[in-house]
Structure 1
Amino acid sequence: MNERELTVLVTGGCGFLGQALVSQILARTAWAVRVLALPNERVPEAWGARVQILRGDITNPGDVGRAAAGCSHIFHLAALVGDAGSYAAHDRVTVGGTAHVFEAALRHRSIVVLTTSICSYGDAIQRGACAEEALPGKPQGPYGKAKQGQERLAWRFKAQGGRVCIVRPANIVGPGSGPWLLDAAHALRQGLPALIGGGHGHAALTVVDNVADFMLLAAQTPAAYGQAFNIEDDLPVTWQRYFNDLATLMKAPLPRSIPRWAAYLGASVVEPLFRRFFQRQRPPVTREALNLIAWDSHFPTAKARALGWAPKVSYEQMLQALGQDIQARGL
């Protein structure tokens, strides 16, 4: 089939990473792009008529099936994002929605690029570098558990003859990032501790455009099918440096630090209360978040680089764009 005749579906296309991916597809391919968006979800005006918007819900198999019809590729990003919400909600949306995507992909013989997360490694992150073949540890919250569930479905899909590539992004940064800009900016403005144990651990950051770049490469590279890939930018950046840089851009006080033991004690007290009584609110501290920011995290990217991928957007370029976004948002 000629490239100009290809139609691709992006679930979660209106989200942070999804918008970056759709922008790259439009700029670099002749593909027709279809996005499955929630009924009231805001669609970027810049897309205009270049993107076909189908309103629906990833938890509805009929909606997913209609959106996937005729698509050569499905970029599956739709999920509950973050460490708030119950295990049941994450399972229904993230795992259940992924099951619907794979069912549709089998019917339509679509190639699936599935975005999970380094959170799928669970507490293995605390024991050293996690290459793609590392056995997952105990999940640290509903988000990580759901990501592990997605990956189990992906390997089952592969065993059924499906073509799938699993992308495990590290901590995605850039303008509009929920946890690493909006939430972090709120913590800094409130004078809350943003560093754990001094923040000396490797932050495992990756710029959003670099993740989207790999996803597009993987979709077009048959050697990527049937494999999982870590994506991080291999930056010599600690959490202390990143949060200090963010505070400087915001003209906010530099972040404070608390000991790791104190952070985990706080999580053990408040997280169960929020899971039971305030399920729609994000707990002020969770084991899922601490699993990412309280340890020296490393996720080798040799496999992705062997496909020809390398980060194109530098940390300095990202900081410049972040500064502009901070000004525009009044952060």
Structure 2
Amino acid sequence: MKILVTGADGFIGSHLTEELVKRGYNVKAFVNYNSFNSWGWLDQSSMDVKSQLEVFAGDIRDPFGVKQAMVGCTHVLHLAALIAIPYSYHSPSTYIDTNIVGTLNIVQAAKELNVDKVVHTSTSEVYGTALYVPIDEDHPLQGQSPYSASKIGADQMALSFYRSFETPISVIRPFNTYGPRQSARAVIPTIISQIANGIHNIKLGSVTPTRDFNYVEDTVNGFISVMESDQSIGEVINIGSNYEVSIGETADTIADIMGVKLVIETDEDRLRPEKSEVERLWCNNQKAKDLLGWEPMFGQKEGFRRGLQATINWFTDEDNLSRYKADVYNL
């Protein structure tokens, strides 16, 4: 068994790659080619992890490089994607190339190379504002941003190869993952990094939307559970905590843990267009429990607080905090 992880240099991908190595899997990490020879967050991994990794630097948009990377691999965990919603308003065509064409490159190569399993990464954003809660896998898909539209297209491309060619594909649909290493464009690192830099009048977008936050350790375990389960082939599976909380309440909880009083200021640049804002997300994770035996370890209010504490501990380390520009809005 040899596993290729695309997007291994990113937030979730680096955590997933490290956990797979720790569990004894043979792992190849697909990282985005760059002139700095950076492996992204994998550069911060321990030597015990890095010494056991095979690293392939390429571009998910290049079908030839993707196929070359997949040669000899039995399983592919496909995480490589553009994920920032604000940037998708700015440059939507890059999301088509990376998210849809990149996924096509993966599943086409999987078909040609007879790969045993592809786990394609979706997102809860494909559901848009909840029409009913909690959101199960049968909920309608609503493209409320160019990003979510591109992920709907990528999901359907992946599933079409399962239906057309019996390519063994599973779709994992994580809800809002948070934790160490997350980009400051996401709301939890935005709040923590501003407070940690002594800013108590913090800038946010809308604070009324609700989210189902999933600690990165739970998301990683979800990926591995999907990969290891034969029952997941051809299925879309939500991975979430089944706990709904507003952005405002999240900010208050972080402030309470960090022992500060907050004043929240609305930053117009951080607001989504009215019809693009996803107002409510709340995960029904029953299918993951039934099919995979997966359970969130950081679920409900108590688990969310533990996950926030672990995230705060990481971000308030000076070496980690110095990597973030708390005073600059990150698209």
TM-score (normalizing by structure 2): 0.82
Residue identity (%): 22
- Secondary structure of 1:291 counterpart: coil
* TM-aligned CA distance change 1:238 to 1:206, over 3 Å: same
2:229 aligned partner: 221
For residue 297 of structure 1, report the CA deviation from its aligned partner: 2.3
Q: What code does the residue aligned with 2:254 have?
A: L
Root-mean-square deviation (Å):
2.5
C-alpha distance in structure 1 between counterparts of 2:234 and 2:241, whole Å? 23
- Secondary structure of 2:277 counterpart: helix
Deviation sequence 1:52-71 (CA, Å, 0-9, x none): 00111101111100111111
1:101 aligned partner: 106
- Secondary structure of 1:167 counterpart: strand
1:280 aligned partner: none
Q: Are the equivalent residues in 2 in contact too, given 1:249–1:326 (CA < 8 A)?
A: no
2:306 aligned partner: 317
2:180 aligned partner: 175
Q: Are the equivalent residues in 2 in contact too, given 1:90–1:146 (CA < 8 A)?
A: yes
* TM-aligned CA distance change 1:35 to 1:226, over 3 Å: same
Deviation sequence 1:12-65 (CA, Å, 0-9, x none): 01111001111221122x321001112233333423221100111101111100
Deviation sequence 1:254-294 (CA, Å, 0-9, x none): 25376xxxx9xx6xxxxxxxxxxxxxxxx5222499634xx
Q: Are the equivalent residues in 1 in contact too, given 2:200–2:262 (CA < 8 A)?
A: no
Q: Are the equivalent residues in 2 in contact too, given 1:141–1:287 (CA < 8 A)?
A: no
TM-score (normalizing by structure 1): 0.82
2:94 aligned partner: 89
- Secondary structure of 1:311 counterpart: coil
* TM-aligned CA distance change 1:284 to 1:296, over 3 Å: closer
Aligned length: 297
- Does 2:30 match 1:36? yes
- Does 2:3 match 1:8? yes
| Runs of 4+, deviation exceeding 6 Å | none
2:135 aligned partner: 130
1:276 aligned partner: none
2:282 aligned partner: 298
C-alpha distance in structure 2 between counterparts of 1:144 and 1:288, whole Å? 15
Alignment gaps of 5+ in structure 2: 327-331
C-alpha distance in structure 2 between counterparts of 1:311 and 1:16, whole Å? 19
* TM-aligned CA distance change 1:186 to 1:286, over 3 Å: farther
C-alpha distance in structure 2 between counterparts of 1:104 and 1:113, whole Å? 14
Alignment gaps of 5+ in structure 1: 1-5, 267-282
2:329 aligned partner: none
2:253 aligned partner: 245
C-alpha distance in structure 2 between counterparts of 1:92 and 1:9, whole Å? 21
